[in-house]
């Protein structure tokens, strides 16, 4: 069935009061937090792929999002980058729509219109966008999660999540309009969740950030917090502290971040500025060089 620019296999029977959990790559997905969370939810609920863009080349520059050659049992295939829709049926409502948005390079208005048509056709009642951003936070403390909610009231003790209205002004993604339009045009409840990751680590896969988002979602959807990502997060971050012994300047910076965290320094709720450290802490020249080297190594590996 064609819905906007998507080819969709409509679920039968229909989903029950579905909530959409969406990620936007690459805009606010540092540490692959969103991707890891969607993968875990998909495995947890045996998610089924039901749709994707019919002609992704209309929206994507394939010299920027490269197709990939895959070999399986000697058979050669080409994986084309796309925006993918999966559904997950749960024992009790709400069911889930897992939406992996790939940011468009062209015709963004048509792309957004199509997403809204899909949300409406599937009967989505809440749109939840998750992601990660770098910030001046220590790896040795619980990672902060900020966000905003509209059209509904989250739990009073929402796993330490700080909810407020965003005051961010600056560059953004055209796809950020989806949540706003879903609320205003379709009267869909919305929630954004952004985990703040240590700016000095810049891990390709940050399992601590993913585990933090999963524990927050567990409050909403009642699944167990005994997840592989939690154990992987502990092992991953446990390796950082001993490594700091060889870098006194980095160790000093982390200790200052810990003091700021323990003083409950305010963190702005600005998910649009993903990747921009917002803390007021001043960094020594040695740390600036260290972070520059980390960033350069990360770029070289890509």
The CATH number given to whatever domain includes residue 159 is 3.40.50.10900
Task: Give the pLDDT score at 69.
Answer: 95
Domain assignment of residue 101, given as a range: 2-301
Give the confidence band of 269 by pLDDT, cuts at 50, 70, 90: very low
Higher-pLDDT residue of 285, 137: 137
Is the per-residue pLDDT at 301 higher than 70?
no
Task: Give the pLDDT score at 171.
Answer: 85
Average of per-residue pLDDT across 48-62: 98
Task: Give the pLDDT score at 264.
Answer: 61
Average of per-residue pLDDT across 271-276: 41
Task: Give the pLDDT score at 162.
Answer: 92
Is the per-residue pLDDT at 291 higher than 50?
no
| Separation between Cα atoms, residue 256 and residue 250, nearest integer Å | 10
SS3 269: coil
Task: Give the pLDDT score at 238.
Answer: 87
Select the highest-mean-pLDDT range: 145-159, 204-218, 229-243: 204-218
Is the per-residue pLDDT at 270 higher than 70?
no
- Total tally of structural domains belonging to the chain: 1
Give the confidence band of 265 by pLDDT, cuts at 50, 70, 90: low
Question: Which residues are CB-neighbours of 34 under 8 A, at least 6 positions away?
Answer: 23, 24, 25, 28, 100, 130, 131, 132, 213
**Rg (alpha carbons) of the chain, rounded to whole number:** 20
Give the confidence band of 250 by pLDDT, cuts at 50, 70, 90: confident
Tokens of 302: 């890509």
pLDDT tens digits, one per residue of 123-153: 999 999 999 999 999 999 999 999 999 999 9
Neighbours of 56 (CB within 10 A): 18
pLDDT tens digits, one per residue of 178-188: 999 999 999 99
Tokens of 81: 């980058």
pLDDT, averaged across the chain = 88
Is the per-residue pLDDT at 297 higher than 80?
no
Q: How far lies 90's CA from each of 21, 22, 44, 145, 218, in Å?
A: 14, 17, 10, 25, 13
Is the per-residue pLDDT at 277 higher than 60?
no
């Amino acid at each position: 069935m064609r819905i906007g620019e998507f080819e969709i296999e409509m679920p039968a029977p229909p989903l029950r009061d579905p909530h959409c959990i969406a990620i936007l790559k690459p805009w606010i997905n540092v540490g692959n937090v969103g991707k890891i969370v969607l993968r875990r939810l998909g495995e947890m609920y045996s998610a089924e792929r039901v749709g994707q863009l019919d002609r992704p080349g209309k929206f994507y520059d394939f010299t920027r999002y490269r197709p990939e050659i895959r070999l399986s049992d000697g058979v050669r295939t080409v994986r084309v980058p796309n925006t993918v829709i999966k559904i997950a049926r749960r024992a009790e409502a709400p069911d889930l729509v897992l939406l992996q948005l790939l940011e468009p390079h062209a015709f963004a208005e048509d792309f957004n219109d199509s997403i809204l048509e899909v949300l409406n056709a599937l009967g989505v009642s809440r749109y939840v966008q998750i992601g990660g951003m770098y910030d001046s936070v220590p790896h040795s403390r619980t990672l902060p999660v900020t966000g905003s909610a509209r059209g509904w009231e989250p739990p009073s003790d929402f796993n330490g999540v700080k909810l407020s209205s965003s005051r961010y002004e600056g560059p953004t993604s055209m796809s950020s309009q989806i949540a706003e339009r879903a609320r205003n045009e379709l009267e869909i409840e919305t929630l954004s969740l952004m985990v703040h990751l240590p700016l000095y680590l810049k891990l390709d896969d940050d399992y601590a950030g993913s585990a933090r988002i999963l524990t927050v979602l567990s409050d909403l959807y009642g699944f167990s917090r005994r997840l592989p990502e939690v154990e992987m997060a502990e092992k991953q971050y446990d390796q950082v502290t001993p490594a700091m012994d060889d870098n006194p300047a980095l160790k000093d910076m982390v200790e200052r971040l810990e003091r700021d965290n323990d003083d409950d320094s305010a963190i702005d709720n600005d998910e649009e500025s993903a990747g921009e450290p917002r803390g007021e802490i001043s960094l020594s020249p040695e740390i600036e060089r260290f972070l520059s080297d980390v960033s350069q190594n990360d770029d070289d590996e890509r």
